[in-house]
Each structure stands twice: as C-alpha cells, then as structure tokens.
Structure 1
Amino acid sequence: MSQTPRIAFLASPTPEAQEALADLVREHGAHEPDQADVLCALGGDGFMLQTLHRHGGLGKPVYGMKLGTVGFLMNQFRPEGLLERIAAAEPAKLRPLEMLAQAESGASTASLAYNEVSLLRQTRQAAHIRIDLNGQTRVDELICDGVMVATPAGSTAYNFSAHGPILPLGSNTIALTPIAPFRPRRWRGAILKADTEVRFRVLDPYKRPVSVTADSHEIRDVVEVTIRESRDRMVTLLFDPEHNLEERILSEQFVV
C-alpha cells in the first residue's frame, strides 16, 4: 500500500451512508475499486458481505465503518483521522466457503459464502438430509428444519443463533450445525477441519423440497449441495487495534 493510500469508498443506499460517502469523497477523493489500494465500505454487515462478493477477487484490503443495523464486521464510524486509522489497522484474513448446488432440474450453481451456507425446508414438511464428510456418510438421515456450515467469521451470526459453536478466527475450522433437529434428537452438530468436504443429499426432494442460501444467494429445490473452504480466494479485512475481529469473536463467548 502506498504511503497515502488511494481509497475506493463504497456505500449502502441508506441516507446516512450516502451522506458519509459524499463527505469522505470530498476530503479524500474518489477511486475505482480496481485502481485503489484499499476499499472503504460504509454500511452494515450485509453491505460488507456485498462488497466482499463484488470486489473480493481484486485482493484489496477492506476497511469497513458501521452505518447500518449490524456491524460485527465493521469499525465504528468516525470520519476524522481515517488515513491514520487505516495505517494502524490490523488485518484479518478470511477464506470463504465454496458451494456447488445441484437443483432438481439438473442445473448446477456455484457460489461463495463468507458467513455460512444454510439449507432450509421450503414447506411445512421437515427436511430429510444425508450428510457425507470427505465421501463418508456420517448422518444417514437428519430430520430438521435445516442445516448449515459456517466459517469462523460467520459463526457468531446465524450459526450461533441456531446454538452452533463460536469458532476462533484462524482456528482452521468450520461449524456444521443443524437447525431445529428432530432426529437424531441428541445430535447438535460438529466442529470440522476447514479442508473437510461437506456434502448434503436431500432425501425425498419432491415431497420435502429444500433451498440453499450462500450468504444472500438462494437456490431453490436443491437435491445435492457440496461445500468446501476455498483454496484460491482470500480476503483481508482491516480493524482498529482496540477492537479487532479476533477480540470480538472471543468476547462473544462471554456475553451472558
């Protein structure tokens, strides 16, 4: 990164984020993402995920400032001293999950997920799902509302709400978490090595249809979903030292 970094400011459509965007561009100038040294995302966690999906392939670090409802992946919004904050920021490197979903129609869809990939029943009928890990069947039939695989960064979000574990950043693990499981009644999921290939096979998909969502990308009527950590894609988020992502994830485990 150059001594005075070129910043690409990106903002959610909310009035607060758009006002901040205009002020910051007036002060620091405007650069396109592919010409910038660092991306600055203004919004909430949803907008941060959009930014990573749209521009993660550029390999540019992303510094987020919270101007939205949820800001776990963001720093506090303070427009003053931005260059100094970016220079002092600590990096957090994240690898997304790669998902390949096959629908009843035979179409295959690939997508990335920085938080989680979740399968959910589409009707009142409970989903029946088989779970294979690295080609070996571990759960013959999970009867549930759904099931998900979450990254450490995403483990404090939907995964934690479904009573899944919080995973330390850099632990090289992923969480496999059922959503409202009925059978096996006592199974509460597993913590897996990050390089584990997880395959879900939907049993009786016509009577019990299932959809899959990778972050916010949904595919309906799936029959098989394969998930693995990406070997090629990695993104870098920048955080203020006093409140970095690793500390946030640790602190979440002591909230009562």
Structure 2
Amino acid sequence: MSRSFQSLSFQASNTVEAMASRDKLIRLYGDAEPAEADVIVALGGDGFMLQTLHETMNSGKLVYGMNRGSVGFLMNEFKIEDLRERIAAAVENDFHPLRMTTTNADGSSSIALAINEVSLFRQSYQASKLRVLIDGQVRLEELICDGLMVATPVGSTAYNLSAHGPILPLESPLLALTPVSAFRPRRWRGALLPNRVCVDIEVLEPEKRPVNAVADHTEVKSVIHVRVAQSEDTTARILSDPDRSWSDRILTEQFSN
C-alpha cells in the first residue's frame, strides 16, 4: 500500500557534495526538525547511514538514504525529482542490531550496539588467542587469529565479506562468525549461527595478547570478555527503493566480481 510522507528532515555528511545536495533538496521540499519529521533523509555514504541509523534506533523514525558517498551499498540512488513519491513507494526493512557487552582489563564494562558487526582485533604484534562459546558451550577451545567478528545479514557484505565470510540474505535468521587470518585451527573458516544465540568470546593471555572490540564505530580497548547477542528490544527502520531493495542488493552481491 502506498504511503504519504509530507514532512522530511534532510541530514547530510560533512562532505561538500552531500551538503550541496541537502541545500538543493531543502529548497524543493522544505526541512522539518528530525523529531517532527515523517522520514529522515540521509545524504552521504554507508558510514553516514550507519551513524543515522544509530541515532534513530527506537525512535520509530524511518530513514531513507541517498548516496552522496563512495560505495553507497546501504543507500538509494541520488535523485532530486519526485522524492516524496519515491519514499511513499519504498520498501520498509526493520531489523534488530547486535548488543556487544564487554568486560575490560581495568575492571570496567561497556555496552554498544552494532548494525553491521561486532569485531575483535589484536592490539599488538602478537596474534590474539580466543576461546569461543555458543550459548554457554565451548565450541572453540583456542582460536589464534588476527581477529574475529559476528556479522549480521546487513553487515555480511561489509567487513565480513572482505574477510571471506558468507553473504547472508537479509531475511535469513542467521549470523556469520568469521575469523580474520586464522592461524590455528588453520583450516577453520567460520560458522553460521542462528540469530537467537548468545556468543561469548574470552580473551586468553590478555596481558601478553591484548585485544580491542568494536561495535560498528564504537571501539573498546583491552577487553577480556565480549558477549554478543541480538538486541530484541531495539529496532532500526530503513526504506529502500523497490527496484533496488536490500534483499536484491545482497542477492546481486553474490553474483558480482
């Protein structure tokens, strides 16, 4: 069913191209305060889209992105004409991010959300040494690697794909557990997990082999334990053009060079 969105709020990254596009769109369509708008229109690249989604999670706001960046996988094509009509015909995708809970070497703890992935990285020249538990059961007693990530279907075509992880269809109830340069077990290439599981990652020898954890763009230094689970009480909402839906983008990515 077609919807009518009259009140738009235009948000742009700090690039010259994005800011100039925002000015043009405001002259044509006006500009509402984000809290009062029917839809947030994000102008920039994928990083800016992630930032906007983080800012609008659980607000009920719909986000419609147009590419004014480089790759723009999460964005729709930039067009000035008929914007309200495009938004009214767009496909809505609602999804739950991952919640990263860390225990840190200094005794503190932290919580951050990830739309793309939660990643652990070695902090020094020493490879990280990790133990992996799924729903409390040890699945990897010892993984020696440069890093390890838990990726959502949304993030499966981002860093996960660069690390040779699997592409996940947007509708799949799965998470990708993907290592970065695994040394031991040398042949382990990762795993597909149901999205309802809880993943615990313990850092072994943290003083000798310090590890950082990252949830999208939030980094925590010197972690000793990381828990990752889907945040069922948190929702982000995004709109995509029907001829370039997120599901279609992910499917297309599996057949690209």
Aligned CA RMSD, in angstroms, stands at 1.1
Gaps of 5+ in 1: none
The superposition leaves residues 48-99 of structure 1 with CA deviations (integer Å, 9 ceiling, x where unpaired) of 0000111222121110000001201000100111011001111122211000
Match of 1:139 in 2: 140
Contact map agreement 1:33 1:55 (CA 8 A) in 2: no
Which shows bigger deviation, 21-30 or 176-185?
21-30
Secondary structure at the aligned position of 1:58 is classed as coil
Gaps of 5+ in 2: none
TM-score, structure 2 normalization = 0.97
- How far is 1:133 from its partner? 0.4
Match of 2:101 in 1: 100
For 2:33 and 2:206, how far apart are their aligned partners in 1?
A: 44
Secondary structure at the aligned position of 2:154 is classed as coil
Contact map agreement 2:95 2:235 (CA 8 A) in 1: yes
Q: Which runs of 4+ in 1 moved over 6 A?
A: none
Match of 2:217 in 1: 216
For 2:231 and 2:242, how far apart are their aligned partners in 1?
A: 27
* Aligned residue runs from structure 1 range 32-181, under 5 A: 32-181=33-182
For 1:170 and 1:79, how far apart are their aligned partners in 2?
A: 30
* Aligned residue runs from structure 1 range 197-216, under 5 A: 197-216=198-217
- How far is 1:209 from its partner? 0.3
The superposition leaves residues 144-201 of structure 1 with CA deviations (integer Å, 9 ceiling, x where unpaired) of 0000000001000100110100001111111000100000111111110001100100
The superposition leaves residues 105-150 of structure 1 with CA deviations (integer Å, 9 ceiling, x where unpaired) of 1111100000000000010000000000001110000000000000
Contact map agreement 1:156 1:249 (CA 8 A) in 2: yes
Secondary structure at the aligned position of 2:185 is classed as coil
Match of 1:183 in 2: 184
Structure-2 change in CA distance of 1:215 and 1:4 (3 Å): closer
Contact map agreement 2:42 2:49 (CA 8 A) in 1: yes
Percent identity between matched residues is 52
Contact map agreement 1:115 1:151 (CA 8 A) in 2: yes
Match of 2:26 in 1: 25
For 1:134 and 1:19, how far apart are their aligned partners in 2?
A: 49
AA aligned to 1:16 is E
- How far is 1:249 from its partner? 0.3
Matched, 1:230 2:231: yes
Secondary structure at the aligned position of 1:125 is classed as coil
- How far is 1:4 from its partner? 4.1
